[in-house]
Amino acid sequence: METAPSGMGPFRNEPRGMKPCNESIEKTFWIVERMLALADEGDAVREDTGCGVLYGVMRDSAFKIRRLAEAEKTAHIKKGWWVEQHRR
């Protein structure tokens, strides 16, 4: 499985110059992308309907989590808590 970008963990303690609450939201986006990739991978190789249900629930959950994380990020931006970091 793909490793997280530097400082993103998923659970490393490397400083990124970002508030810890915002860093957790960024980690959430990273996890969501992994969930979606796994759901696609699992769905492609499944051999029964039970696995289809599992990966469908995983995909639906990832989309719901992403919507919640996007709403939180927007709220943090409006509060002035979120400053985009320039990545190299």
Tell me: pLDDT of 87 over 50.
no
The pLDDT value recorded for residue 57 is 98
Contact indicator for 58, 39 with CB cutoff of 8 Å: yes
Measured CA to CA, the distance from residue 18 to residue 31 in angstroms comes to 18
Domain boundaries, the chain: 20-79
Q: Hey, CA dihedral for 45, 48, 49, 53, is it positive or negative?
A: negative
Tell me: pLDDT of 9 over 70.
no
Q: What is the pLDDT of residues 21-74, one digit of tens each?
A: 999 999 999 999 999 999 999 999 999 999 999 999 999 999 999 999 999 999
Measured CA to CA, the distance from residue 24 to residue 81 in angstroms comes to 13
pTM of the model: 0.78
